[in-house]
Amino acid sequence: MSIASNLDSIKASLPENVTLVAVSKTKPVADLMEAYETGQRIFGENKIQEMADKWEQMPKDIQWHMIGHVQTNKVKFMAPFVSLIHGIDSLKLLQEINRQALKNNRIIDCLLQIHIAEEETKFGLDENELNLLLSSPEFKEMKNIRILGLMGMATFTEDQNQIKKEFIHLKSIFDSLKNRDEYGKGALQYVSTISMGMSGDYQLAIECGSTMVRIGSSIFGGR
């Protein structure tokens, strides 16, 4: 199967309100261009340097999503162009993104990563940490970031019930975030996105309310 036909069949299976992030990490520019030629404009990468290299080489109407873990000292390399940062898991990181966005005279869209998996190794905030972050005075002062919603990764398991439980958990946190009205028309007014679901579990994620799926190997082949 070609990249173009993989993309066609995945896109045909997505509801209209679900955004497809084509996860192109480790893949060469030629592969990304094949996806671009079919009309794909949103690409996800997990290393900032690799994303910046591809950004330089590729058409400028691409929206680049950083889906990996972000080191604070590397935010500056993507701040001029990144379209959405998925994996934010600390106030400190958010503050650096805000600072670099200001330097670049931009507002950078962000998703907060929630830890929903059983594995200790997956990054993300728990509910308590999320609430602490959102209620901190530092958060309320940030003017150059926009929180569009939440991102999460399910446990790496064959157990569909386990994965489903974790997706439903993320959706419930998302719903309560959307319904938080303590800010009025403040920092949370743009919350609309749940980034959950990858090649192996995106259909289940959509059933559980995902609005953004991050699909790599089913489009570009294995890594």
* Smallest distance, ligand PLP to C-beta of residue 121, A: 13
Single residue of 3, 20, 22, 23 touching ligand PLP by CB under 6 A? 23
- 150-189 residues in contact with ligand PLP (CB under 6 A) are 153
- 56-115 residues in contact with ligand PLP (CB under 6 A) are 67-68
Rounded Cα–Cα distance for residues 91 and 97 (Å): 10
> Tokens 């958060």 identify what position?
139
- How many chain residues interact with ligand PLP (CB under 6 A)? 14
Q: What are phi and psi of 202, to 5 degrees?
A: -70, -30
- 186-215 residues in contact with ligand PLP (CB under 6 A) are 198-200, 214-215
**27 contributes a contact to ligand PLP by CB under 6 A:** no
Kindly give the pairing relationship between strand 145-152 and strand 108-114. parallel
Give 100 or 152: the residue with its C-beta nearer to ligand PLP.
152
* Smallest distance, ligand PLP to C-beta of residue 166, A: 14
Q: List the alpha helices (DSSP H) in the chain.
A: 3-13, 29-37, 48-57, 75-78, 91-103, 127-135, 137-141, 160-178, 202-207, 217-220
Residues contributing to the site for ligand PLP (CB under 6 A): 23, 25, 46, 67-68, 153, 198-200, 214-218
